[in-house]
Amino acid sequence: MTRMTRAVWPMLLFVVGIVVGGSAAAQDDAGTARPTPKGADLVLLEEIRVLARRMTVLRETSPALDPPPVAVRATQDLIRIAMEIRGRSMLPAEQLAARDRAWADLGFPRPDVPTSALTHLAGDIAGVGLDAAGNRLLVDVDRLTDEDFFIEQPNDPTIALLLATGVRPDEPTMVHALMHLVQHQRGRTVGETTTDALLAAAALEEGEANLVAVMYLFKAMGLQRNILAMGYTPDQALAGALMPTGFEGAPELDRQILNFVYMDGFEALSWIWQAAGWEGVDRFIGRSRATHDLLHMDRPPARTVLPEPVLPELPAGYTVRDRDSLGELGIVMLVNAMTGKENLGPQAGDGWLADRVLRLETDRGGNGVTVWVSRWRDEKQAEEFLQLYRRGPEPATGLDRTSRRTGSEVEILVIPSSLRPPEPSGE
């Protein structure tokens, strides 16, 4: 799927101008919102519930939010802390740290890729979030105030768009957060806590939240379908307000993950909504479990289940600290990072069916053991992945990495050099 370039903005504003025709945009059932004194929770609560009703109609969600949403004022620091707590609840810290070490041993150039990426994802967009339990909206004290419209900047494209659509600047971001509240009430949980499953679920949730937010932005003009057909994406909405905090300054690997979650997730659901409406979106969300399912929407969903990898003989004390799956996205990122060539990652990951990573460590510390088994559509694609993977650099000092292919399966083992079997004496 291609993304709309900045060159589309003039066309978009031209379309907006035609539709508005100098008249005010139509208002819906809410009427004119009352001024919102800063910190007035009752007024905030009323506005959020009005937005929730509009969002429910737009998303064709039935039943509506039950119980109705609760919103409270909070500083951005408190919102960030609450979101970080929610993020940390996905995996115990010790397990996530073991996953970091496994990824580093497999060849990722940084020792903290999973932790860093999940931390960025937990932050979501600025100005609003869910509390640690996921039950209430936390709204920044500077959002949804009576100072929303900055009409002193009439030439700003964002302000011009908002004035044309009749939408207040913070409303789409509130709709984004309300969609997350709907997802929480649905009880949508990730069946597995592998990296692949977590990233796929995040892409579906952020894609859905931003699809509803973008449609809300243009709903008064009836341009949702036109805008989406033009390739409109969340990074172009409201000066990036629907993109995650810290996106621009994130490390390269984190940016790749955030781009997949916020851009690819949106584009996938946008394409499906245009073709099959919300029923199609619901079906796709229900069937998708892996990053492969979003990267290859024209293929059957990934359903291959690998058995537990056979462990090597190890001294006493080694126990499994983490079970993971890189998934196709992780493999693409890994091969890109190891080879320094962005075209090789997609080539290496294209035939992926399933993979499992086990991380074993002792309580004594020191280097652990990583076992990685992957299955591919056929022997040729398994061999292609293996050869591209082998182009990467050698593991860190003190580690041995071995790799082999058996039919359409590839096994990679990383162990401390001290555990390497002695070489035959040759006698």
Domains of the chain: total: 2
Domain residue limits at 139: 8-295
- The proportion of the chain whose per-residue pLDDT surpasses 70, expressed as a percent, equals 83
Q: What are phi and psi of 328, to 5 degrees?
A: -65, -40
* DSSP letter, residue 135: -
Q: What is the pLDDT of residue 158?
A: 66
Q: Per the domain annotation, does 426 fall within a domain?
A: no
97 token code pair: 């740290």
Global confidence as pTM: 0.87
Quick one: pLDDT at residue 150?
53
For the stretch 294-330, pLDDT in tens is 999 999 999 999 999 999 999 999 999 999 999 999 9
Which stretch, 23-27, 233-237, 359-363, has highest mean pLDDT? 359-363
Q: Mean pLDDT lowest for which of 101-105, 348-352, 384-388, 419-423?
A: 419-423
In a domain, 307, yes or no: no
Which are the contacts of 201, defined by CB distance < 8 A and separation ≥ 6?
Answer: 188, 190
Q: Is there a single domain that holds both residue 287 and residue 335?
A: no
Q: φ and ψ at 374, to 5 degrees?
A: -130, 150
Residues 173, 25 within the same domain: yes
Residue 427 counted as domain residue? no
Question: Which of the listed residues 263, 295, 327 is the one where a domain comes to its end?
Answer: 295
Looking at residue 39, its pLDDT comes to 44
Last residue of a domain, one of 295, 311, 335: 295
Number of other residues whose CB lies within 10 A of the CB of residue 159: 18
Same domain flag for 95 and 130: yes
Average pLDDT over residues 220-236: 88
* Calpha distance 141→155 (Å, rounded): 27
Q: Per-residue pLDDT for 11 more than 70?
A: no
For residue 326, give the nearest of 5, 27, 91, 103 by alpha carbon. Answer: 103
Residue 424: helix, strand or coil by DSSP?
coil
Q: Are residues 291 and 330 in the same domain?
A: no
How sure is the predictor about 187, in pLDDT bands with cuts at 50, 70 and 90?
Answer: confident
Indicate if 290 and 324 belong to the same structural domain. Answer: no
Give, as one character, the DSSP assignment of residue 322. Answer: E
Q: How confident is the model at residue 190 (pLDDT cuts 50, 70, 90)?
A: low
Report the alpha-carbon distance of residue 418 to residue 374 in Å, rounded.
Answer: 26
Q: Kindly give the pairing relationship between strand 409-416 and strand 369-376.
A: antiparallel
- Chain centroid to Cα 233, Å, comes to 15
User: What share of the chain has pLDDT > 90, as a percent?
Assistant: 67
Does 309 fall in a domain?
no
Q: Band the pLDDT of 427: cuts 50, 70, 90.
A: very low
Distance CA 272, CA 265 (A): 11
**What's the CA gap between 194 and 299, in Å, rounded?**
22
Burial 24-50 (b: 16+ CB within 10 A, else e): ebeeeeeeebeebeeeeeebbbbbbbb
Query: Has residue 361 got a pLDDT over 90?
Result: yes
Across 83-92, 158-167, 299-308, 373-382, least confident range: 158-167
Q: Which amino acid is at 222?
A: G
Looking at the fold, whether 345 and 287 belong to one and the same domain comes out as no
Angle at 70 between CA 67 and CA 74, to 5 degrees: 160
Q: What does pLDDT average to over the chain?
A: 86
Same domain for 176 and 87, yes or no, is yes
Q: How far apart are the first and last CA of the chain?
A: 62
Euclidean distance between CA atoms 260 and 112, whole angstroms: 19
Name which of 42-51, 67-76, 147-156 the model is least confident about: 147-156
CB distance 86 to 137 below 8 Å: no
For 360, the enclosing helix (H) or strand (E) is strand 352-361
Supply angle C-alpha 413, 417, 419, rounded to 5. Answer: 80
For residue 359, the cross-strand partners are 322, 370
Residue 219 binned pLDDT confidence (cut-offs 50, 70, 90): confident
pLDDT over threshold 70, residue 367: yes
pLDDT mean over 269-292? 96
Phi, psi of 321 (to 5 degrees): -105, -20
Whether the per-residue pLDDT at 1 is higher than 60: the answer is: no
User: Residue 345 above 60 pLDDT?
Assistant: yes
CB 260 within 8 Å of CB 268: no
pLDDT given at position 191: 66
Q: Are residues 128 and 171 in the same domain?
A: yes
Residues 53 and 143 in one domain: yes
**Is the pLDDT score of 34 beyond 80?**
no
Of 40-44, 126-130, 139-143, 186-190, where does mean pLDDT reach its minimum? 186-190
The number of helices, as runs of H, and strands, as runs of E, in the chain is: 15, 8
Is pLDDT above 70 for 79?
yes
Mean pLDDT of 156-180: 81
416: pLDDT strictly greater than 60: yes
The conformational region for residue 356 under phi > 0 = left, psi -120 to 50 = alpha, else beta, is beta
* Statement to judge: residues 241 and 353 lie in one domain: no
CA dist., res. 75 & res. 78, Å (int): 5
- Do residues 130 and 82 make contact, with C-beta atoms less than 8 angstroms apart? yes
The confidence score (pLDDT) of residue 159 equals 65
418: amino acid identity, one letter: S
The reported pLDDT for the residue numbered 41 is 77
Residue 281 identity (one-letter amino acid): V
d(CA 164, CA 25): 6
Say what the pLDDT of residue 64 is.
Answer: 67
What is the strand order of the sheet 136-140 is part of?
Answer: 70-74, 136-140, 128-130
User: CA-CA distance, 36 to 55, in Å (whole number)?
Assistant: 20
Q: Is residue 1 assigned to a domain? A: no
Same domain, 240 and 346: no
Q: What is the pLDDT of residue 186?
A: 85
Q: Does residue 300 belong to any structural domain of this protein?
A: no
Residue 310: inside a domain? no
Residue 299: count of CB within 10 angstroms of its CB: 10
Tell me if 273 is assigned to some domain.
Answer: yes
User: Which pLDDT tens digit goes with each residue over 100-111?
Assistant: 999 999 999 999
- What gap in Å lies between CA 202 and CA 187, rounded to an integer? 14
Distance CA 202, CA 220 (A): 29
Same domain, 367 and 403: yes
Residue 294: CA atoms inside 13 Å, Cβ hemisphere, count? Answer: 33
CA distance 324 to 289: 14
